[in-house]
Amino acid sequence: MKYPSLKEFIDRLELEGELLRIKESVSPILEIAEITDRVSKQSGGGKALLFENVEGSSMPVLINAFGSAKRMNMALGVHNIEDIPKRIERYIKIPPPTTLLDKAKLLPMLLQAAQFPPKLLQTSHPPCQEVVHLNDDIDLGIIPILQCWPQDAGRFITFPIVINRSVDKTIRNVGLYRMQVYDKKTTAMHWHIHKDGAHFFHEYRKQNKIMEVAVALGADPASCYSASAPMPYGIDEFLLAGFIRKASVPLVKCKTVDLEVPANAEIILEGYIDPSEMRLEGPFGDHTGYYSQDGDYPIFHITAITHRKDPVYLTTIVGIPPQEDYYLGRATERIFLPLLKTQLPEIVDMDMPVEGVFHNCVIVSFDKRYPMQSRRLMSALWGLGQMSFVKTIVTVDADVNVHNYEEVAKLLLDKVDFETDLFFSEGVLDVLNHASDQMLHGSKLGIDLTEKIEGEPGYGKETYSSEQNPLSPENVMKVFNEIRACKVLELKSQRRVMLVALDKTSPNQGKQFIQSLFESPEFSSIEIVIVLEGHVELKNISTVMWKFFNNLDPKRDFHFHEGRLGIDVTQKFSEEGYQQNWPEEIEMSSEIKSQVDKKWNDLFKE
């Protein structure tokens, strides 16, 4: 099913029992975020929320609209997300026609493909321009823009479809870049250094030219998703939306800038960026679960606000996973797998665990045929687009289910050889990665869990086995006073793993603890120890893994000792060579939590 606009999608959500209408008065300052965070962490992602009575605005707020596997499928018009990559594979695998009959058979598919490009409408009254605000009437205050977290620098537009063109006007870019509100006519434009928007911006800055920008808030679901997708450079995101919808995305000309926007969008912001202007943006509670650091970013000057007569403001929050963005990311994982296979055809499947927040961990199964192929695959992935940001890659054989984390974990603990199976590299990292000593780059880890073949290091080596002697975490805590908690993982595996919550107060304390533990004969049965910060709840393995992947710089934090491994993922200090600012974890204020507790039952009354 395709949806002409967000309104039809809302109707479908309600019909399917996937939407909760909240009539109770709520504040866009922190309250909506706290309510949404609680709902999004319910089983399966909770429900979509439509706040109909938002303080300071007449516009309702839609949030968590894509925050479940079911709603993501509905948004993209499929019963199963795998239907889309199957369609993509059909086009990728079209053999060149050799006979007239083959050409005739190919024609319907080519005609269908021809419908995908966006279509410019010649109308002066599209839905997105039913109301037009110009000059002194421009005021972002009419939109119920959220402040998501207590230490955010202010209100942020978090689900904007940002549209611009290359300096020569030949390439359109559509992306999602958060926008901090400065005043009623200006915002920041936070495009990361590696993204196409930033690339275009630098083109304009080199030529000292003004850059026109338009922003759609709340378009049809396929366009909303496509703006988040990591499309190859030069490929129009509205083309992907058309492919998903099986119909072109209708566009219209803006009122004050030479750009086209989705005709059926709820709200449009038009304006420009002067490349000579920069302003401090942030901090912001980001999808890593930490506050991203502040920095200088371009300023977006608004020259027009247009919208429907009764617009809905679509937004989202990000923070400690799982959140709505996990389901958008999962769709990207599945949809782009066929395109990945065109460059690396040996790949069978892949999985990005929610705890890895997209770039921190990827598990890949592949058809192994020759020695060291796993390392070649890892290196190739680290050289491909946004896969270059991935910090940890785990490779497994084709018959391993990459989505079964218990199976992968047991395989790792039973089979990994620290001498032959760990591959350390270095390269670019996402700007939000805080673990590495330097910003934007650091070490990476490849873990090869495939069966070794002749000619490969480790071939013919006996499978690892160990004696599982009894171990009491209490005994470890008696010896080491700085430990707040200790837990041995209950996994039926060859290697025993212990988690430690360490009250770290001085540089190198994690590394020193690992050394002391391994040198103590009474703890010889502990073969892998993971040292985390003292406040981490060790009973929650999902939280443990989220902290592990976020805080890890592999080359710095792996410490080997006579065939045993200690991993120190505690906060690092400048005395340890750390040169970034270690960010704070996102947590809502106790005051807002209390406010929401008091009104919780009233929020969901029929």
Where exactly are the structural domains of the chain?
6-314, 344-448, 473-572
Q: Choose the CATH number for 473-572 among 3.40.50.300, 3.30.1360.120, 3.40.50.460, 3.40.1670.10.
A: 3.40.1670.10
> What confidence tier does 106 reach under pLDDT thresholds 50, 70, 90?
low
**Is pLDDT of 87 > 90?**
no
| Mean pLDDT over the full length of the chain | 91
Across 286-302, average pLDDT: 94
The confidence score (pLDDT) of residue 191 equals 85
Taking residues 568-583, report their average pLDDT: 96
Is the separation of the CB atoms in 143 and 59 below 8 Å? yes
Q: What is the pLDDT of residue 108?
A: 56
CA 159 to chain centre: 13
Model pLDDT, residue 92: 64
Nearest Cα to 571, choosing from 521, 535, 524? 535
Q: Does 104 score more than 90 pLDDT?
A: no
- Lowest mean pLDDT, pick from 93-107, 325-339, 504-518: 93-107
To which residue do tokens 């706040």 refer? 51
> Could you say which architecture CATH assigns to the domain 6-314?
Roll (2.30)
Nearest one of 458, 363, 360 to 401, comparing CA atoms: 363
Same fold, 6-314 and 473-572: no
pLDDT, residue 426, reads 94
- pLDDT band at 491, cuts 50/70/90? confident
Between CA 67 and CA 40 the distance in angstroms is: 7
Q: Which long-range contacts (CB under 8 A, 24 or more apart) does 574-579 make?
A: 575/507, 575/508, 576/507, 576/508, 577/437, 578/437, 579/437, 579/438, 579/439
Active site residue 286: yes
Class of domain 344-448: alpha beta
pLDDT digit string, tens, across residues 358-374: 889 999 999 999 999 99
Q: What is the DSSP letter of 70?
A: H
Give pLDDT, residue 460. 80
> What is the pLDDT, as a whole number, of residue 112?
56
Give bridge partners of residue 162 from the DSSP assignment: 175, 215
Mean pLDDT of the region 376-383: 95
Tell me the one-letter amino acid at 404.
Answer: N
Give the span between the Cα atoms of 509 and 534, in whole angstroms.
12
Distance between start and end Cα atoms, the chain? 29
Q: Which entry of 37, 220, 286, 430 is annotated as an active-site residue?
A: 286
Rounded to the nearest 10°, the torsion over CA 118, 238, 282, 307 is 40
Tens of pLDDT, residues 221-265 = 999 999 998 887 778 899 889 989 988 999 999 999 999 999 999
Task: Determine the average pLDDT of the residues in 493-502.
Answer: 88
Q: Which of 2-6, 254-258, 571-575 has the lowest mean pLDDT?
A: 2-6
What Cα–Cα distance (Å) separates residue 81 from each residue in 69, 90, 339?
8, 15, 15
Whether this model's pTM surpasses 0.85: yes
The whole-angstrom separation of Cα 229 and Cα 589 is 33
Tens digits of per-residue pLDDT, 308-350? Answer: 999 999 999 999 999 999 999 999 999 999 889 988 999 999 9
Predicted confidence (pLDDT) per residue in 426-472, tens digit: 999 988 899 999 998 999 999 999 999 988 888 888 765 565 666 77
